């Protein structure tokens, strides 16, 4: 039996073959150069798309509350693009679905579902829910918008989300279906508890019920994956799944540097990552009326104006404009005292992951010297989950920091998901922690990294990647 790029069936792939030597790398490099120099792949023109707040597709239809959680309310085919102009050769749709908000009330969200171009929709496959780190209190920064071809300059406001296309390419190359939920909902609730998990899980339910994907309903093998803010959402989904969506066949959850304690982000105040403080406070201020009343009582007029701007902007603009801002001068009381205000403390306490125990196996990875998400917060998350009986494989990377771990940790995360989504996944029982110099300091991870990058490059150039099944 032949094996091509890890496919034991021997079916040929239309994408990048297994990386086995320098000759292959050289050949691929020449191919890329030839395509770029010849201009063989040109972006197709596309009309500008309306922003989500102006797009009727995002609005819930009358009577949606009576529908089941995860029920599809509306769908449309969409075209995805790198940098909003380079079309991706995949099949993709948006689904508006019924879900649940932080107050346990019916609401709606949108997920973008993706299938390899060569996939046979009559054959079932695993599904991976990929949670982006879009980290904004504005719905106009949602993945469903910034991934669309034709979203233009408005779409490029969320340009950091374009880095997630590498992850999409990695998943598509395996022949899997993908769900990319707008897990902050229509109101941009980034740092709230539970709701991101509900919206992620209902996005999976919606994908499993969407006929063009050809999935096997609740029997579909599922993995969830996210980094940073996306890791936080994935963490909430892992914690909520046993009680909220027990029927889902979740084989594993990969979490990269998840924001497991929102208050822990305060250590970046005054640093190059200081915008995370403003983004977190603005999101909670938007989600909780009592929190907003308390925050506005102690924010200076300048501080209130900054919060108002922050909740309307995407991460890149906030990151640049709030770099090295000292939020201490934007409050009339010390920040430590602000955190003790009852309406504030209650909300922040609710945002801490680790109090509900996942039943799906977990792969947790974290940079020891991460300057945004402190390592102690996820050391504690690992301890809490393990004490509750969860199965956690935890890798602590001593070389990576917050901006490099998404790339350097991706091969290990992908290889772990491949093992979990295999027909007979190996047992992962109990907890273990590995301290490594770098998650990329492994031959298998390094080869996977090269393959991921080549798939992403060819995907951005419009080539189909993944297995050809038709």
Closest alpha carbon to 184 in 153, 151, 146, 127: 146
Half-sphere exposure of 14 (CA within 13 A, CB side): 19
Residues near 179 by beta carbon (within 8 Å), at least 6 away in sequence = 111, 112, 113, 127, 128, 129, 130, 203, 204, 206, 207
Q: Give the strand pairing for 127-131 and 72-77.
A: unpaired
Half-sphere exposure of 300 (CA within 13 A, CB side): 12
Q: Quick one: tokens of 443?
A: 């031959």
For residues 84 and 88, what is the distance between their CA atoms, to the nearest angstrom? 10
Cβ atoms of 125 and 113 within 8 Å: the answer is no
Beta bridge partners of 436: 397
CA 224, 227, 231 angle in degrees (round to 5)? 60
Q: Give the ranges where 322-395 is alpha helix by DSSP (H).
A: 335-338, 342-350, 375-387
For residues 438 and 397, what is the distance between their CA atoms, to the nearest angstrom? 5
Phi/psi at 157 (nearest 5 deg)? Answer: -55, -30
Helix (H, G, I), strand (E, B) or coil at 220: coil
Q: Which long-range contacts (CB under 8 A, 24 or more apart) does 150-156 make?
A: 150/46, 150/47, 150/48, 150/49, 150/79, 150/81, 150/84, 151/48, 151/49, 151/84, 152/48, 152/49, 152/84, 154/48, 154/51, 155/49, 155/84, 156/83, 156/84
Residues near 221 by beta carbon (within 8 Å), at least 6 away in sequence = 126, 127, 249, 251, 421
Based on the number of CB atoms within 10 Å of its own CB, is 40 exposed (0-12), middle (13-18) or buried (19 or more)? Answer: exposed
For residues 155 and 149, what is the distance between their CA atoms, to the nearest angstrom? 9
Beta bridge partners of 222: 127, 250
Cβ atoms of 367 and 400 within 8 Å: the answer is yes
For residues 385 and 431, what is the distance between their CA atoms, to the nearest angstrom? 9
Q: Which residues are catalytic?
A: 228, 370, 402
């Amino acid at each position: 039996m032949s094996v091509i790029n890890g496919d034991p069936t021997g079916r040929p792939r239309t994408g990048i073959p297994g990386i086995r030597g320098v000759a292959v790398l050289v050949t691929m490099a020449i191919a890329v150069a030839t395509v770029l120099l010849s201009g063989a792949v040109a972006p197709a023109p596309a009309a500008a798309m309306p922003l989500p707040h102006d797009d009727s597709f995002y609005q819930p239809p009358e009577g949606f509350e009576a529908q089941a959680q995860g029920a599809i309310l509306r769908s449309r085919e969409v075209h995805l693009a790198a940098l909003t102009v380079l079309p991706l050769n995949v099949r993709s749709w948006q689904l508006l679905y019924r879900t649940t908000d932080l107050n346990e009330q019916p609401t709606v969200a949108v997920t973008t579902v993706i299938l390899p171009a060569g996939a046979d929709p009559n054959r079932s496959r695993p599904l991976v829910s990929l949670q982006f780190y879009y980290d904004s209190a504005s719905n106009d920064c949602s993945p469903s918008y910034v991934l669309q071809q034709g979203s233009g300059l408005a779409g490029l406001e969320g340009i950091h989300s374009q880095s997630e296309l590498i992850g999409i390419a990695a998943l598509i190359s395996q022949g899997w279906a993908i769900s990319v939920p707008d897990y902050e909902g229509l109101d941009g609730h980034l740092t709230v508890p539970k709701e991101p998990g509900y919206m992620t899980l209902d996005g999976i339910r919606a994908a499993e019920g969407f006929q063009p994907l050809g999935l096997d309903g609740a029997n579909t093998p599922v993995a969830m994956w996210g980094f940073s803010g996306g890791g936080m959402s994935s963490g909430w989904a892992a914690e909520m799944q046993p009680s909220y969506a027990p029927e889902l066949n979740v084989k594993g959850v990969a979490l990269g540097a998840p924001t497991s304690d929102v208050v822990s982000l305060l250590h970046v105040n005054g640093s190059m990552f200081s915008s995370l403080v403003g983004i977190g406070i603005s999101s909670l201020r938007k989600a909780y009326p009592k929190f907003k009343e308390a925050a506005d009582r102690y924010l200076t007029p300048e501080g209130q104006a900054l919060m108002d701007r922050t909740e309307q902007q995407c991460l890149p603009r906030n990151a640049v404009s709030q770099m090295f801002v000292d939020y201490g001068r934007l409050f009339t009381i010390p920040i430590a005292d602000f955190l003790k205000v009852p309406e504030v403390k209650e909300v922040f306490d609710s945002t801490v992951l680790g109090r509900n125990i996942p039943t799906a196996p977990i792969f947790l990875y974290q940079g020891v010297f991460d300057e945004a998400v402190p390592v102690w917060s996820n050391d504690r998350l690992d301890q809490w989950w393990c004490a509750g009986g969860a199965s956690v494989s935890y890798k602590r990377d001593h070389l990576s920091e917050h901006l490099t771990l998404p790339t350097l940790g991706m091969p290990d995360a992908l290889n772990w998901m491949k093992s979990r989504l295999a027909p007979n996944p190996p047992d992962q029982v109990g907890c273990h922690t590995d301290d490594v110099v770098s998650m990329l300091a492994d031959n298998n991870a390094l080869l996977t990294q090269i393959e991921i990058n080549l798939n992403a490059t060819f995907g951005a150039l419009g080539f189909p990647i993944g297995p050809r099944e038709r």
